[in-house]
Amino acid sequence: MTPASRSGRQESKTAGDAPKKLGVLLVGLIAAGVIDPPLRLERNYLERRLKAQIEPDGTVTCMGRSFCTLSSAASHARDTCAERLGAEAHHLSSNGWAFWQFRNGDGELESIGNLRRRFLDG
């Protein structure tokens, strides 16, 4: 398991090396004020409108279930559409940062990954 710093960034340590940035956790974005929960997420997928929500504790609620990550919520949401893809499509892995979208201040859909990218670049 990778330790998380107080900023919510995941770090990896190797002998003699400084911590390496691997990403950011939802709780880090919430703590930094980048995400103001509850934040509604959505995605059109196989002609279905899928919805989720980032909760104040950093969990993601999707279709009545709570998930620890955006990716696990995205995989679950995609599984609900699997009947259209065939049985082999069940349990497809998903990058939740790329999958989920939110409505930005202009009301336009934007990838949740864009928030993470701006936070890491800033």
Residue 4 lies in a domain: no
Grade residue 87 by pLDDT with cuts at 50, 70 and 90. low
Domain total for the chain? Answer: 1
> What is the predicted pLDDT for the residue at 73?
96
pLDDT tops 60 at residue 1: no
Question: In one letter, which amino acid is 35?
Answer: I
What's the order of all strands across the beta sheet hosting 109-111?
65-67, 60-62, 48-54, 39-45, 101-103, 109-111
Segments forming the whole domain that contains residue 35: 9-121
Q: Which residue has the higher pLDDT, 93 or 26?
A: 26
> What is the predicted pLDDT for the residue at 115?
93
Q: What is the pTM of this model?
A: 0.77
